[in-house]
Amino acid sequence: MTATTTAPAAPTPAAPAGGLRQSVRDSLTVAKRNLIRMLRIPEVVVFGLFQPIMFVVLFSYVFGGSINLPGAGLDPGLYREFLMAGIFAQTVTFATAGAGAGIAEDMHKGLIDRFRSLPMARGAVLTGRTLADLVQTGLTLIVLGLVALLVGWRTHENGLKVLAGFGLLLLLGYAFTWIGALIGLTVRTPEAATSGGLIWLFPLTFISNAFVPSQNMPTVLRHFAEWNPFSATVQACRELFGNLPPNYPVPDAWPMQHPAWASLIWSIVIIAFFRTLAVRKYKSATA
């Protein structure tokens, strides 16, 4: 009589959990994991503050007296108030590079593959990562706002409008982290993700109304700047903060005439488009 043995069946990965509640819970779990990681490496947050602070100092005290604002002339004090919305917006969009590098590092270490083998809601890993980056961006804005107050920046509208301005900034930053997520899933190293996350941001932020008025640009660049989603948020924040010079001529382009709506629409479109692409890439990506 011969005994027969049956090899144990290979375990099959559990199906991804579904439902809004499960998705929210999984996303918050991943966000908590990334926030704890940030707390253990505080130098990442500290070094991330250096660049915007340097921009504030350089543009306020080195270039501020040389930039002619329509309706304000060469007044350095008015230029500092004009400048700060651009610095805030640049800071939140530069979080793109950090988001991309973090996801690329997780890919490189095989962590993404381990997450994909778990019964987690689709997109929870990426949503959790972007939410953690949003928290870091918010903390950076608080510190940068304090530095801005020290160099003479002031708001001239009520508190609700000021909070609405910062809300638009955070929404724009969150939208751009989804671009970073897609870049991080596409490249193979954190270094490539950092470079890929920054190289296109410089023309986007400098061909805008962030640092100089768009009215003085050549025609093609002026139209690009006026329809730039970055410019819409900057213009909206200047209006909500009360930081436009008294006689500043607002361009006729629709995003400049209705900047808060334009900023909101641009951010929602960017989130919807790049989140869809990033989640699709996440499901098929390999380390």
Residues 149-183: tens digit of each pLDDT? 888 889 999 999 999 999 999 999 999 999 999 99
Q: Give φ, ψ of 251 to 5 degrees.
A: -55, 155
Task: For the chain, give every domain's residue range.
Answer: 39-284
CA distance 133 to 177: 7
Q: What is the pLDDT of residue 65?
A: 65
Exposure class string for 93-125: b at 16+ Cβ within 10 A, else e:
bbbbbbbbbbbbbbbbeeebeebbeeebbbbbb
User: Widest CA span of the chain, in angstroms?
Assistant: 102
The DSSP line for the chain is ------PPPPPPPPPPP-SHHHHHHHHHHHHHHHHHHHHH-HHHHHHHHHHHHHHHHIIIIIIGGG--BTTTBT-HHHHHHHHHHHHHHHHHHTHHHHHHHHHHHHHHTTHHHHHHTS---TTHHHHHHHHHHHHHHHHHHHHHHHHHHHTT----S-HHHHHHHHHHHHHHHHHHHHHHHHHHHHSSSHHHHHHHHHTTHHHHHHSSSSSS-GGGS-HHHHHHHHT-HHHHHHHHHHHHHT-S-TTPPPPSSHHHHSHHHHHHHHHHHHHHHHHHHHHHHHHH---
* 255 touches 227 (CB < 8 A): yes
pLDDT beneath 50, residues of the chain: 1-15, 17, 286-287
pLDDT tens by residue, 102-119: 888 877 777 777 777 777
Q: What is the pLDDT of residue 287?
A: 43
CA distance 153 to 232: 20
Q: Give φ, ψ of 76 to 5 degrees.
A: -65, -35
- Indicate the pTM of the whole model: 0.85
Token pair for 139: 């903390």
CA distance 170 to 153: 19
Give the residue among 79, 42, 255 at the shortest CA–CA distance from 153: 79
* 82 touches 117 (CB < 8 A): no
Q: Angle at CA 52, nearest 5°, toward 259 and 255?
A: 10
Give the residue among 258, 193, 195 at the shortest CA–CA distance from 231: 258
Q: Angle at CA 59, nearest 5°, toward 200 and 55?
A: 50
CA distance 170 to 88: 10
Please identify which residue in the block is written with the tokens 């900047």: 259
Q: What is the pLDDT of residue 60?
A: 75
Q: What is the pLDDT of residue 263?
A: 97
Q: Percentage of the chain with pLDDT > 70?
A: 87
